[in-house]
Structure 1
Amino acid sequence: MTGTTRSESLQFNVSAFWAIAFTALLFVHNEVHEISHTGVGRLICGAWGPRNFNSWQLACRETPEIVLAPIAGLVFSYGLMWIGYYVIKALDSPSKKSVGLCLIFAAMPFGRIYTVAQSGGDEMVILRGVFPEMNSLLRLAIGLSIVLVFIIPPLHQAFVTLPHQRQLMAFVGFLLVPYVLFEIIVLRVANPLLEQGVLASTGVLGSPVFVNVWTGFWVLMLILSWQHLPTILISHDGA
């Protein structure tokens, strides 16, 4: 097939192996996002700040540190979405487009917009650090606008790439399921266990041992299953 692979010529090929690979990518992304924050904080402050699975503090409290640390995580997450965007747009094969989709949605674009809508998230930390006196509603509007500027092009590219059969349902699923998994497994299970003292001592890279074990498990799962990430989309002839 020549030219750009159109969504009309693609179909879904969902499998348990792909689901494992995508889930592993999702949780590995989350940890790299968090360690980007704390790693920058360590470089600037000279010490690791406390953290759990999805929130962190710095060992110093001056404005440059408050701004630079959240920027590091955002560069990684938005960068992953835009890499996915360019992979989908520039490469014709279903396998490459499958990888692009996985990169976009594993970076949890819905999570970015949802947390900012709740006046949370790294974007709002930056705005509060740079503009502490700004009106809260104006800050929220700016935060939401920033997120939309970064996520709409990758999400649009992902949507038009999805097979037309159940296109909207698949898009909503890709958008929401990663955040639901994160909400249930990380926020409602892993973090409460950590708060209760489960493997809470400091381990590698200033992270709790529980985070180290969790991350190691998902890195291993990703290594073992990564070859299934390119399989979510196939052409009608199975190529």
Structure 2
Amino acid sequence: METPRLSEDRRFPWRWLVALVPLVMLVHEAHEFAHTLTGRLACGRWAERDFNRWSIGACDSWLPIAGGPLFSYLLMAAGALLAMRAGRTGRWLAVGLIFAANPLARAVTAASGHGDEMLVARNWAGAGVDPALLHAATAGLVLVLCAGALAVAWRALGGLARRPAVFAAGLVAGIAITGPVLPMLNRLLEAGNLAMSMAGAPLLVHLFTLASAVGVLASLPWLAHPLPDGKGPEPLRAGGRTTVR
């Protein structure tokens, strides 16, 4: 059996990391839109939102709370499935989808006892369940789901000499990008910039979502082909480890 070895190409895929920026922002906006859309469908009205908060007032349904995380986990699952089926260049896009769903933030938030998942769990469980047990069960489920997607992402990057650095950069990309950007955008809203509401969201939110979508389309070649010569992770092989020739 041939011993697996890392690629001799030690370039870091900077173009892929740059392309993650609009993808992360678009996925974040899609996550928030999932909240407001399910509010419209389940409660008969749009949830009101800014760039990182939403509310819908009195509504008996838990679906608006679940809509956002459900979208994020479906995106992680889609990225994981693509990573297991795609060729070299498709794996860059697949791993990008997993990281853009921000699994690190989902896991950390759930572990701290906050976030959409905890709200959904409390709605399902009611008042008779031990809060500590509910927290442990919910955080454990979130950690399993996120860890599973991240394990696929790690394996999909097999054969890259810079795999640890690429994985670490992708892992923190969601928090590093949205962390400084969203408060800045909310300050613009608080100052009254393009704050008129449409379908539950200020006009500035819709314009930013459109700009993010344009950015994803423009950077898609970098997301799929980050290295100029098209090199990337080797396809995964059933029953064996990746070998780079």
Q: TM-score range by the shorter chain?
A: 0.7 to 0.9
Once structures 1 and 2 are overlaid, which stretch shifts more, 77-86 or 190-199?
190-199
Q: Structure 1 residue 157: deviation in Å?
A: 1.4
Give, as a single letter, the amino acid of the residue that structure 2 aligns with 1:180: A
* CA distance in structure 2 between the partners assigned to 1:139 and 1:101 by the alignment: 31
What does residue range 115-126 of structure 1 map to in structure 2 within 5 Å? Answer: 115-126=109-120
Give matches, 1:63-212, under 5 Å.
Answer: 65=61, 67-91=62-86, 93-133=87-127, 134-162=129-157, 163-186=159-182, 188-203=183-198, 205-212=199-206
Indicate conservation of the 8 Å contact 1:81/1:103, yes or no: yes
Q: Which residue of 1 aligns with 2:240?
A: none
Q: Say if 2:220 is the partner of 1:226.
A: yes
Report the Cα distance in structure 1 between the residues aligned to 2:23 and 2:140, rounded to whole angstroms: 27
Aligned amino acid, residue 215 of structure 2: M
Q: CA RMSD in A?
A: 2.3
User: Alpha carbons of 1:231 and 1:124: their partners in 2 closer, same or farther (altered >3 Å)?
Assistant: same
Distance 1:166 1:125, change over 3 A: same
In structure 2, the CA distance between the partners of 1:161 and 1:236, relative to structure 1 (3 Å rule), is closer
Contact 1:48–1:59 (8 Å) recurs in 2: no
Deviates more, 1:129-138 or 1:74-83: 129-138
TM-score scaled by length of structure 1: 0.84
Deviation at 1:84? 1.1
CA displacement at 1:172 relative to structure 2:
1.9
Q: How far did 1:137 drift? A: 2.1
Measured in 1, the distance between the counterparts of 2:18 and 2:207 equals 18
Which runs of 5 or more structure 2 residues have no equivalent in the other structure?
235-245
Whether the aligned pair in 1 keeps the contact of 2:194 and 2:202 (CA below 8 Å) is: yes
Moved over 3 A (4+): 6-13
Q: Tell me how far apart the structure 2 counterparts of residues 135 and 183 of structure 1 sit (CA, whole Å).
A: 33
The structure with more helix, counted as a fraction of residues: 1
Measured in 2, the distance between the counterparts of 1:42 and 1:10 equals 53
Q: TM-score normalized by structure 2?
A: 0.82
What is the number of residues matched between the two proteins? 225
1:100 counterpart letter in structure 2 = A
Does structure 2 retain, via aligned residues, the 8 Å contact 1:202–1:209?
yes
Q: Which amino acid aligns with 2:134?
A: R
> 1:71 corresponds to which letter in structure 2?
A
Distance 1:165 1:202, change over 3 A: same
In 2, Cα distance between the equivalents of 1:177 and 1:225?
A: 16
CA distance in 2, matches of 1:236, 1:129: 42
* Change in CA separation of 1:10 and 1:201 when aligned onto 2, cut-off 3 Å: farther
What's the CA shift for 1:31?
Answer: 0.9
Change in CA separation of 1:225 and 1:166 when aligned onto 2, cut-off 3 Å: closer
1:22 to 20, 23, 34: 20
Q: Distance in 1 between matches of 2:8 and 2:41?
A: 46
**Alignment match of 1:53 (pick from 48, 51, 54):** 51
Q: Secondary structure at the match of 2:196?
A: coil
Structure 1 residue runs of 5 or longer lacking an equivalent are: 1-5
